[in-house]
Structure 1
Amino acid sequence: MASARNRRSDAESVIWPQVLLVVAVVALTLIGFVIIYSASQVTILSEAATNYYADTEAGQYLRDTISYSDYIAQQNPSAKLISQFIYSLAGILIAVAIWFMLPRSGWKGAIVKGYWGVCVALLVITFLFGTAALGAQRWIVIGPLSLQPSEFAKIAIVLMAANLMDDLNEGDEFNSVMIRAALYVVAPTLFLLFTQSDLGTTIIIFVGVYAVLWFGGAPGKLMLAIAGVAVLAVIAIVLFGSGYRQDRFVVYNPWNDGEGGRGNGYQTIHSFYAFAEGGLFGVGLGNSSEKYDYLPEAETDFVFSIIGEEFGMLGAFVVIALFCCILFAGMRIASAAATPNERIVAGSVTIMLVFQAFLNMGCVIGLVPTTGKPLPFVSAGGSSLIASLMMVGIIMAVARNADNTTVYDRRRANLRVVRAVDDDSNGSRNAPRGGRADSRTRAPQGARRRQTRSSSRR
């Protein structure tokens, strides 16, 4: 009876974080639909007017063939909302496939390595044939679809880092793991940084890998050393890299941008205006004034500003609370994971996802320089939405495996058996007759693997 009660309470402890996670993600996605429709319809009509009056052959052709009012009437203000809805369906299907179909062995099998290989190949294709937009070459355009491979590569890099951390804990040689880390983690991250000039995604990847070290039990001194090196590296990149990164530090005094607030501080200033206009309760859905071409990227990078303007400080706090729910649910699922590797995977993916959200909100309210990273589940953008839902699927897959285990199974999985290995003479003298070890003294499989590796290194 006691065992049955333990199994039942253990399963319940994993079910309710899953429910909380799904509810928070659905709520954020629905909020994104509402805000994207509110902000993007103005953008769509503005872009149509710009195209109509453009001093180009296409603009002249429009003016010769159709009146302005008829051309504007043909535009679909819901186009970006429909696109976001389609991307959300695709992301949900992928997340559900990961949730129910990924085998437990998939975390360290060919699936993760294959996914990593595809993502790296897409990064190379982006470097060679990608499309430049907003000053960076980060997109692959295939017909009507625009794909940003870095959104998917960050997941692959963190999954590989989790596997390497688990290999290290299982007894692999430190030097061997470091060589593989340089190949599978460091190399693609640096390639992404220098070919796409994407410091924001690089920082997000670093936070995910740092979480891998934390959940993997890395020593505190090593963690501090890595953090110090990372801070120095970011400072060096900002000081000696592209000049636009230095210009973004005007966020701490945007009115002093050398152009009276109309230069590099323009976007931050109008973000402040949006929050100031919203006050406590907001100006109401659809009543934002900053979305009328005052605040650039209103439905993508600065969508949180429109939330603050239309729904006020209370609406902004609801969004923050929902991301805190995701963090809390992800941590509970990680703590109940069936294996140490799954605990590392769930914890690091959760940290990376929530960190990106707070990085976006920090940029919008002027706490950190603008990085151009979208707000997960809320900002318009197919690649970001699908990648965010994929991470939710990964967390839920870990929770599914935890449902099939008891607290005693997880204790056994986390158990590390350390045993001295006698030399050959002692081993042969102490072994039972017949040459087989007594089943009562047989070490677990992980310990036998470490024993073999230790013997081979002697």
Structure 2
Amino acid sequence: MTTNPPRIRTPRPVAGEHGPRESQAPRPSETGDAVSHGAGAAARISLGRVFKAESANYFLLLGTTLFLVVFGLVMVLSSSSVDSYLENAGFFGGILRQGVFALVGIPLMLVVSRFPLKFWQRIAWPALIGSCFLQCLVIFTPLGIEVAGNTNWLSIGGVQFQPSELIKMALVIWLGMILSLKRDRLDDWRHVLIPVFGVGGGAVMLVMIGGDLGTVMIMAGILFGALFFAGVKLRMLALPLVIGGVGALVVALSSSNRLTRIMSFLGTGCDEISGTISAACWQPLHGTWALANGGVFGVGLGNSKAKWSWLPAADNDYIFAIIGEELGLIGAIVVLCMFILLAFAFIRVMRSTGNLQVRVSTATVMVWVIGQALVNIGVVLGVFPVLGVPLPLISAGGTALLSTLIAIGIVLSFTRGSRPGVDSGQRADTGAAAR
């Protein structure tokens, strides 16, 4: 019986020991596909990091803001078309100007939202000093321009803007920084009232000299709002509040223009039945008639009658009257609900952080935007006399839109990197205190 000798198998080379097998060698096309796939994945990862939001508060605040901006562009187009045509700018002159500021402001808001908390701490003092310097140019140099009795505009190189809006943004940053530094001494009035009303109040006085009482009231609300949400005791705010109220009354009565507005608010010269309507009563009355003409469902978008040179500032201070006329009570309620939602987003950001600077700065932006919206709507409804403040994010006005978007971008920057119970700003604040 014969046996066959065992077959000796030659071991094949294993990849990595003596080099890769020929069948496993990558072809040029496969290498290119792998490289392109890797590059595509890296690009997707990079874009994902850019647009990644750290919390739902970011989306809530951003989405509400974008809705109001888009809604405002639609209403500016409708309310400004007639006046733009009469100014030889065409029917789309107003919306083109406002659209340019929106196209600049929205990306700028997103860029600002990427800045860390330390950046706002460093820029607080330079921003406040620089904005006050520009306001000094308004009131102490020929560069200041008077509009409707208020010297609040600065013209440099043919470009007109309001430095008071820059002061608002600077106060948002500065108040958050200074009160966070004083967080252990908030019970001592010398460490709270002196810097806030000494420095911040001085900035407000610069705007007061220009005569813009409406803006001064909003800025005063920013100061008191910062102190309230910082946890300062109410009894410390009582005396400054009384002094500020008396000062505002004296300033209001010292100007014939403002006094005329107050008298028209009280009904003097507004007898529409006899046909004797003064110039100061013209705007409030036609704003009320526009709201009444809208009813519940409105006359339809673009069908306003008041915008045909009957209602002054139809695309600015009285745009809410056009909203009520064209979209009716339903449209007006939608606008109110969106500002309530915006306030809810600010409150969520404040509740989600343990950092005092973040809380105070967010509160000041909320007081600014929501307070100004309520004042504007109150003026249109006849609750307040005419103060000349626009409806935030909706009214026409480039400087106001840009400043509001940047302020909201500051709050958006606070929502990035935050986690429940672990706040990045709080960690930075704790580290600075330890040092």
Structure 1: stretches of 5+ with no match in the other structure: 1-11, 49-74, 417-443, 450-458
Aligned to 1:247: 260
CA deviations on 1:235-270 (whole Å, 9 max, x unpaired) are 22223x212222212224265379822321110000
Residues 1:277 and 1:36: Cα distance change in structure 2 (over 3 Å) = same
Shift of 1:107: 2.8
Look up the equivalent residue of 1:113 and give its one-letter code: W
Shift of 1:347: 1.6
Kept in 2: contact 1:356–1:375 (CA 8 A) = yes
2:126 to 107, 110, 114: 114
Q: Secondary structure at the match of 1:407?
A: coil
- Does residue 191 (structure 1) correspond to residue 206 (structure 2)? The answer is yes
In 2, the alpha carbon distance for the partners of 1:309 and 1:255 equals 25
Structure 2: stretches of 5+ with no match in the other structure: 1-51
Aligned to 1:454: none
Alignment of 1:82-101 (within 5 A): 82-100=96-114
Aligned to 1:375: 391
CA deviations on 1:302-321 (whole Å, 9 max, x unpaired) are 11110000000110111111
Calculate the TM-score normalised by the size of structure 1.
0.76
- Does residue 181 (structure 1) correspond to residue 221 (structure 2)? The answer is no
Residues 1:114 and 1:282: Cα distance change in structure 2 (over 3 Å) = same
2:76 to 33, 36, 44: 36
Kept in 2: contact 1:130–1:137 (CA 8 A) = yes
CA deviations on 1:122-178 (whole Å, 9 max, x unpaired) are 111222112222222221234553211111211212322222222221459864655
Identity of aligned residues (%): 27
Kept in 1: contact 2:270–2:277 (CA 8 A) = yes
Shift of 1:211: 1.1
Residues 1:236 and 1:136: Cα distance change in structure 2 (over 3 Å) = closer
Higher helix share: 1
CA deviations on 1:363-408 (whole Å, 9 max, x unpaired) are 1111001111111111111000001101110111111142xx4415
Q: Secondary structure at the match of 1:374?
A: coil
Kept in 1: contact 2:138–2:144 (CA 8 A) = yes
In 1, the alpha carbon distance for the partners of 2:245 and 2:428 equals 33
Q: How many residues align?
A: 378
- Does residue 387 (structure 1) correspond to residue 410 (structure 2)? The answer is no
In 2, the alpha carbon distance for the partners of 1:368 and 1:261 equals 19
In 1, the alpha carbon distance for the partners of 2:342 and 2:102 equals 18
Aligned to 2:353: 337
Residues 1:410 and 1:226: Cα distance change in structure 2 (over 3 Å) = farther
Residues 1:273 and 1:14: Cα distance change in structure 2 (over 3 Å) = farther
Query: Which runs of 4 or more aligned residues in structure 1 lie more than 4 Å from their structure 2 counterparts after TM superposition?
Result: 171-174, 176-179, 408-416
Kept in 1: contact 2:317–2:388 (CA 8 A) = yes
In 2, the alpha carbon distance for the partners of 1:445 and 1:138 equals 39
In 2, the alpha carbon distance for the partners of 1:148 and 1:21 equals 25
In 1, the alpha carbon distance for the partners of 2:227 and 2:82 equals 45
Aligned to 1:160: 174
In 1, the alpha carbon distance for the partners of 2:404 and 2:300 equals 28
- Does residue 209 (structure 1) correspond to residue 209 (structure 2)? The answer is no
Look up the equivalent residue of 2:131 and give its one-letter code: C
Calculate the TM-score normalised by the size of structure 2.
0.80
Q: Secondary structure at the match of 1:139?
A: strand
Kept in 1: contact 2:152–2:207 (CA 8 A) = no
Q: Secondary structure at the match of 1:264?
A: helix
- Does residue 282 (structure 1) correspond to residue 298 (structure 2)? The answer is yes
Aligned to 1:256: 270
Query: Which range moves more in the overlay, 216-225 or 361-370?
Result: 216-225
In 2, the alpha carbon distance for the partners of 1:156 and 1:246 equals 31
Q: Secondary structure at the match of 1:287?
A: coil
Residues 1:176 and 1:331: Cα distance change in structure 2 (over 3 Å) = closer
In 2, the alpha carbon distance for the partners of 1:126 and 1:339 equals 36
Q: Secondary structure at the match of 1:157?
A: helix
Aligned to 2:245: 231
Aligned to 1:23: 63
Aligned-CA RMSD value: 2.7
CA deviations on 1:7-38 (whole Å, 9 max, x unpaired) are xxxxx997333222222211111111111111
Query: Which range moves more in the overlay, 148-157 or 166-175?
Result: 166-175
CA deviations on 1:309-343 (whole Å, 9 max, x unpaired) are 00001101111111111101001101112511111
In 1, the alpha carbon distance for the partners of 2:356 and 2:349 equals 12
